């Protein structure tokens, strides 16, 4: 049976653009166990860039944990979810570059993107805010 991993990801920027942070949590879908937590400081960046960087970091870590897993990526960023699902066009060059980086990381990995309300994404949000507060990766 193929293992399913869940990636919860969130990014934020104070000022948009401004100091930014990205957070991701990798969970085992069967047990709910937290397998990894990531908090990255992104320097001055937009909210959308921070969201993409959170998703990419979470996906990469999930693939490191189990390269054969099926992934579900949950985010409260409708933009990233819709763009990565192929339902919305990517017009901004920075977003196109980050989406290409994400697709490269996901090559050969079955993945599903799911939008969740912000209040259900508190773990990843907390990590993004901790990285912004620290001004460093945590």
pLDDT tens digits, residue range 49-65?
999 999 999 999 999 99
- Taking only the tens place, the pLDDT of each residue in 67-103 is 999 999 999 999 999 999 999 999 999 899 999 999 9
What is the pTM (predicted TM-score) of this model?
Answer: 0.97
Question: What is the predicted pLDDT for the residue at 3?
Answer: 96
Output DSSP code: residue 103.
H
Return the half-sphere exposure (C-beta side, CA atoms, 13 A cut-off) of residue 66: 18
- Cβ-Cβ contacts under 8 Å for 65 (sequence gap 6 or more): 5, 26, 35, 36
Q: Which domains does the chain have, with CATH numbers?
A: 4-134 (3.30.420.10)
């Amino acid at each position: 049976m193929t293992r399913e991993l869940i990636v919860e990801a969130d990014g934020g920027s104070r000022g948009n653009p401004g100091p930014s942070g990205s957070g991701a949590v990798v969970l085992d879908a069967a047990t709910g166990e937290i397998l990894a937590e990531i908090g990255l400081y992104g320097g001055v960046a937009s909210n959308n860039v921070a969201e993409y960087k959170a998703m990419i970091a979470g996906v990469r870590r999930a693939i490191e944990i189990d390269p054969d897993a099926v992934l579900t990526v949950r985010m409260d960023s409708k933009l990233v979810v819709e763009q990565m699902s192929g339902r919305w066009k990517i017009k901004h060059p920075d977003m196109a570059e980050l989406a290409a980086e994400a697709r490269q990381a996901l090559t050969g990995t079955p993945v599903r993107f799911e939008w969740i309300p912000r209040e259900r994404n508190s773990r990843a949000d907390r990590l993004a805010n901790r990285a912004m507060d620290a001004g460093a990766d945590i």
